[in-house]
Each structure stands twice: as structure tokens, then as C-alpha cells.
Amino acid sequence: MATCTGCSLLCEDIEAELSGGKLSKVKNLCRKGHGHFQSAFSERTVPMIDGKKVDLDQAIARAAEILRSAKSPLLFGWSNSTLEAQNVGISLAEKLDATIDDTSSFCQGILMERILSGSIPTCTLDDVRNYADVSIFWGADPSSSHPRHLSRFSYYPRGDKRQKSYEEERTCMVVDVRMSATATLCKDYLFRVPPGGDAEFIEAILSVLEGKIPRLGDKKKMIELGGLLKKAEWGAIFPGLGMIYSLQDNMEVFERLIARLNEITTFKVIPMAGHFNMRGFNELLREKTGYINRVSFEGGAASHGPENSVVAAAKTCDAALVIGSDPLSSLPFGTARALARLPLIAIDPRRSLTTDAAGVVIPAAISGLEAGGTAVRMDGVKIKFEPIIKADLPADEQILSRIMEAI
């Protein structure tokens, strides 16, 4: 059995048949996971310095040199690396007095903070499968982003207390601005919100729960939703980026909703982390510094703040190491441009806009496929995996250790 590192569900029931070093048949991988596994065979990186092929030792030496001479380097990425690699990465940041941030900074960070600190109640996905009778995808489209979420945990499987599952015992709801692929599976329970309208939507739910008529939206639909929430025995809410980006600084209002719901019944929250080990990084950094992301070790002590987010730090740092992430593709133009102008080190198994712009490219083994390690699933469950393909490539952890030794 193999583990898929294509998303934060870390599916462990993957059966891969290999022939001649290639995958001949793979069972149980979704389309997204299949794309992830197949990515091992296209657009692989080679060690490069300033666009010229070099050997690995040279690339590592140059990376160490860049980081050593930088006054305020930024170490960014991390959500596609194992806990073992993240651990070395945090030590490297400490050693360099660097700023360290991961993709949660513009993803699930502001919610994850509340989950890890305990201010919003959470549970495992196995609990969801065993107990949940209501699953709510809020600003999330798992069919596209985490394809097996509904079949493995949140809607279709049978669980200890849910033997009749989706046919009789489970209700799935979607809160979204559009009819997403997931919403087509529960059309009657699609609650539409306008973009940016989540806070008002929550206020409307809160007033319905108090027995008041909501001031906004489709009143009948809101009253129906209030009834469904009150009737739930054991509910789970899965917030996606749609909700996070809409609420932003107003996350407190969601916390209030969850507290109110838990006065009535049980409601748990699991953030729909994107990359396979985003939560792992958040937990690890929190353990070491008290903060889940956006940490600077400048002056020797850990400090936290928006000025240490990748978006801000891209403008103020004087060198950057990017690992397992392609911020030049996934971040706004202005941030991408700021990063591209820095002395840039990219550690990545595959070619991307970021590796193309980087002065130093260091190829890495793909975690899960070519390198083993440990990762934390979106719900906090730790999962250990072994590689299934033998590749003559160093893992992130080894690359980072070697850079650290060379500094």
C-alpha cells in the first residue's frame, strides 16, 4: 500500500503496480492523486545555478552561500514537505535568524490558529465517518479539491453510528457563491451567499437560532437551515478558502457561531487544508515558537506578525529559499515579482515558474512516492509513509540538512 500526498487527506489505501520504474496500474487514486503520481514522470528539475546545469554539491554550496550572506532571508513553502524536513527547516531558520512562513499564511492559517489553540472544537475525519449526521462544506468544493473527502469520511461511507449513511442518516450541505461540483450532490441544501457575504450569513443564522426572523437573504431558506442545524445530532463543518477569504479579520464571528451551535448540539470544525502537510508545519512551528506561521527569528527570538507573511516579507527580505511550492504561480503578481527579483533558491522535484526564476535549483525526491516520512492529515492524524519508487534523489530533509551543515 502507498500513501497519496496529492492533498491533505493522505489516502493510505493506494495500490501501485510498477514496471520498469514506471507506474503501470494504480488503484484507488482519485484523478487529482493520479495527476500527482504521474507528475513524477514529467518536468523534473536538475541542479542548476543561474540557468546552467551543475552537480548537486555545487547547487547546495551556492544555496548555503546565498543564505549565509543574506541579512534577512525568507524561508517559504513547507506544506509539501514531511515533518522531518519541516523540522530541519525550522532549525535552519533559527540558525539564520530568518523569517519562516508557509502556504497557510494565505490559506487556512487564521482558522487553523483557532483550531490548534482549542478555541474552536475539532475532531478527526474518522469521528466524522462514525458519528456525523450533518456535514457542511462552507466555501469549499471537496469534489474538486479533496476528491475522496465525501466517499471516505463525510457523506457516503458507513460508520459506527451511521450504518444507513447517506441514504437515511446523513445530510450534506454546501454554503457557496456558486453551484460547485459538490453542491450538485446536495442541491436542496445549497445555501448561496454573495461573495464576501459570509459574516452577514452567519449573523442571519445566529438570529434564526434565537428564533428571530433573519433580516437578510431568503428567509424561508434561512429558517429551514436553522431547523436543520438545531436538529443535528453530531455536525461537522469543513470551511474552505471561500469562507476564510470572506471572513478574514472577522473570524471571531464564526467562532461565535460554533460556540452557539455547541450550546444546542455537537458541532466540530475541520479546516480544509490544501497541501498534504500544511497542518503538520503549523503544529510543529507552534510547538517550537507558539505561532503557527509568519515567524521571524531575527535577533534570536521568535516574533510573529503580518510583516513576516510571505506576501509582506517578499518585499523586505534580501534572499529567499522556496521549498515544495510555486509562489510565482500561486501568489499575486506583485508578490511574484518581488520574489523573482531576489536571490532565489528553489528546492522542488518539478519545474515551475519559481524554479525557472530561481538562481539555484535543487531537485528533490517526491514525498510519498520517492521519499518516506511523516505528515499530518487535515484533521491532525499523523500518518507515516514509505516510498514506493526508488529514485536516486535526496529528500527535502537531506537537502536542508546539507545546506545547514554548509552554513
Partner 1 sequence: MVGAMEIYMLLPKTNCKKCGLPTCMAFAVGLLGREKKIDECTPLIEEKKYEAKLKKLREVIAPLENASETGLIIHPEKCFGCGNCVVACPVNVAADPTHCGVGLGPESDKVILKVEDGVVVSNNLQECRRFGPNKILCNACTATCPSKAIEFV
Partner 2 sequence: MVGLEVSIVTVRDIFQDEAGRHSRFSEEYRSKSAVIILDRQDLGSLGAKEGDLVAVENDTGSVIVAAVASHDDAHPGLAIMYNSPWSNQLVPEAVCQSSIPGFKSIRATVQPAEGSAAVTDISEIFSRIKG
- With CB under 8 A as the contact rule, the residue among 56, 206, 311, 406 that binds partner 2 is 311
- Cell readout for 105 is 499564511
E strand or H helix that includes residue 186: none
- With CB under 8 A as the contact rule, the residue among 117, 144, 250, 329 that binds partner 1 is 144
E strand or H helix that includes residue 47: none
Distance, in Å, from the CA atom of 196 to the CA atom of 192, rounded to the nearest integer, reads 12
80 belongs to the binding site for partner 2 (CB under 8 A): no
Single-letter amino acid, residue 311: V
34 belongs to the binding site for partner 2 (CB under 8 A): yes
35 belongs to the binding site for partner 1 (CB under 8 A): yes
282 belongs to the binding site for partner 2 (CB under 8 A): no
141 belongs to the binding site for partner 2 (CB under 8 A): yes
Nearer CB in complex with partner 1: 41/55: 41
Count CA within 13 A, CB hemisphere, residue 140.
Answer: 25
CA-based Rg of the chain, rounded to a whole angstrom?
22
195 belongs to the binding site for partner 2 (CB under 8 A): yes
119 belongs to the binding site for partner 2 (CB under 8 A): no
129 belongs to the binding site for partner 1 (CB under 8 A): yes
151 belongs to the binding site for partner 1 (CB under 8 A): yes
Q: How many residues bind partner 1 (CB under 8 A)?
A: 33
> If we measure between CA atoms, which residue out of 52, 101, 152 comes closest to residue 379?
152
Stretch that binds partner 2, among 88-96, 117-125, 209-217, 239-247 (CB under 8 A): 239-247
13 belongs to the binding site for partner 1 (CB under 8 A): yes
Count CA within 13 A, CB hemisphere, residue 7.
Answer: 20
333's contact among partner 2, partner 1, none, with CB below 5 to 8 A by partner kind, is: partner 2
148 belongs to the binding site for partner 1 (CB under 8 A): yes
166 belongs to the binding site for partner 1 (CB under 8 A): yes
Can you list the alpha helix ranges (DSSP code H) found in 232-318?
Answer: 241-247, 251-264, 278-289, 310-316
Stretch that binds partner 1, among 12-20, 83-91, 267-275, 387-395 (CB under 8 A): 12-20
> If we measure between CA atoms, which residue out of 114, 86, 77 comes closest to residue 375?
86
* Backbone φ, ψ for residue 75 (5° rounding): -115, 115
Q: How many CB atoms lie under 10 A from the CB of residue 340?
A: 17
Contacts of 116 (CB under 8 A, 6+ apart): 282, 283, 286, 292
117 belongs to the binding site for partner 2 (CB under 8 A): no
Query: Where along the sequence are the contacts to partner 2 (CB under 8 A)?
Result: 31-32, 34-36, 38-39, 42-43, 105-106, 110, 141, 143-145, 147, 177-181, 195-196, 241-242, 244-246, 248-249, 306, 309, 311-312, 326, 328-337, 340-341, 351-353, 356-357
